Structure 1
Amino acid sequence: MSGPKQLMLGACFALCVGAAQAEETPYTVSKIAVDVTAKNAVAAKANAMAEAEKRGLDTVLRRIVPFSFYAKLPELQPEQIEGAVNSISIRKEQYSTTRYIATLDVIFNEQAVKQLVTSLGLPTSEEQAPTISILPLVIEGNQVKSGANDVWRQAWLNLDLTHGLTPATVLQPRPGLEVGMVRAVLAGDPSAFAAVQGDYGSASLVIAIGQTADGGQFITRLAGTDGVGRINYGRSDKFGGAPPKAAAQQAAAFAYAVLENRWKATRASPEQVAPVRYEEGMPLQPVPQQGEPGRLVTAVVQFAGLKEWQQIRGRLAQVPGLQGLEVNSLSARTASITFDYAGSLGRLQKVLADSGFSFENGEENFVLRVR
């Protein structure tokens, strides 16, 4: 295979202009990176284009279909994909005799996609949120890291934040941003967040923390305000030994999906989010049970004090089928948590009851307490 130095730049100036002028709707997917090797350059490019079309349509469907219907999305056939594509624009490309590397935009036909979704018997939710700002940060020791080689910030820049249901712009950290101020924001201090937000204008601001930790973990935190309101979300993932750049890219994509699904949950009708009232994000690797979709459930835990909260958290970690428990916010008597669960609401209530918990509807979220 030809090495990177032997790859040639493709002539794509006219096509790049087309990419810049692509309509900003959920039916366009930009910045799709492809790297395909085949028996010759023509085959490599054709295969790369087909891959971009498939990945692009998968992205569009996950944008406009409510989260609770993801499990019903089928493996699309080539003719279904081709019938939904309007055009492809090339942002940049390189090629050799057997390899094709490019960054592509795929523009889909809105009516064709809607007809496809209708044929699958699925609803759509395509209203876009107001534009937000995202400030990617990495904390190293007692400093906020910032620089040209910041893979976490680059991971956000590589995402298509223009056409998603939560349009966003990526900001550069201001010089002198103190780690104490950032940690105060993560702890839920409204005055600290107001001070940071004041440096970046009036748009809703989400601070996105991303960094590796011991044991191959990648920690993601989102704090601030988005199109829904206040957010304080955290997650820890293992990406199977992926290099830092790839892990950061996967974590950023998941974090953005959390923001999109928060917005979609507020716009969907009650039947589109049942049986889970509020779903934040989606599992990276759903594990359906008996044909039921995996989901991320949000609940408010009520307790008498810190000691009881620590006991509850330890017991929740032992509940069968409950995975990925994360604490979004914590106060003296309540905690907002999210966790992955594959199964029905009735099954979840039963396994929690068997573990000594009550799980009931509250005014805004589910309420969980010791029985």
Structure 2
Amino acid sequence: MLSNRWFSTTALVLLVAVAACVEAFAQGGTANFTVNDVTIDVSASDAVQAREQGIQEARRKAAAMLVERMVPAEDRARIPAPDDVRLQSMVRAVEFVRERSAPGRYIATLNVVFSPGLVKAWLGEGGVRTTETVQRPALVIPLWKGPAGVEPLDDRNAWREAWRTLDTASSAVPVTLIRGDQLDQNAVSAEQAYVGDVSALARLTERYRTPVIVVAIVEGDKESGPLTVGGLRYDAQTGARSEIAKETVPAAAQLPDAAKRIHARLDEQWRSMATVRRDSQDSLDVIVPIRALGDWVQIRQRLGAVPAVRSVVVRTLEADRADLRLEYFGTPEELQRILALAGLTLDRDADKWRLQAR
């Protein structure tokens, strides 16, 4: 029979390993401001000139998207318009995701990486308050369940088309549509996705490299209606699984609006946690009570999902508690609110702060 001493020692070794993971993860945030999936389509006298103009247009478009992400709507008019020379100096890199050239035309999807210091100096000239909403990409699996059952992943229907044409690039939750090819079908079946089989959905996060999967479900007859729209959201990082509230639409013609509403709710939910005030930064020493290894793993996962937490330093670690230093953006009150949204309770016990899962 294994002794309690053996169990405590083994658990402590595992906790140390997990502690190293959380510190590395929390400190692994990028130092740059990146705007992903900037799409351009430019025509010019020749392909070379079209490409040059396209890259410049991508810089302009990315700057506008960055302003939408970082500046409240009422303050945006106060920001001075940057000329092309200044834009070029603010951009550290342009990453080419996809590009296609034709005679006199350039079509591409680019990621634009900005220098934080130069961006803050530019925005500061307008005297505006700045925040940053960290994006949380999601993979969308649109499913249609009709009288005969759940349609295949690659079924081409009005619901899939509604998500394909939805523009989410500048939102807090940009979405990628599942391809539904053979590799996807090998990873998960339509039925597994419909019931929210977590192990099957997790296989897709490895392929698409998105931390969130949204299974968007329509139920009803494609021809007659009415239709019921709903689904579920699965977070591979935290393991959280939540339902998307159902609603009724009269017919397939209204599905694009239903997709917009679902995405708007997802976007709003994530923004409540992901909007970070980088002009205010502080640190906090906290105690994490540990009753079982799962407690620490759960807290580690949830802390890693909070953009306001800049870094986590494990100061001491024992079998029944961990002492952490949290470096974070914002105020202690803002940190408490955001951690609560992530399922964590931060409260003060006498002169010490205590952090635990709710």
Give the shorter-chain TM-score range. Answer: 0.3 to 0.5
Tell me the TM-score normalized by structure 2.
0.44
Q: Which has the higher helix share?
A: 2
Whichever of the two has the greater Rg, that structure is 2
Higher RCO (CA 8 Å, separation ≥ 6 residues): 2
Tell me the TM-score normalized by structure 1.
0.43
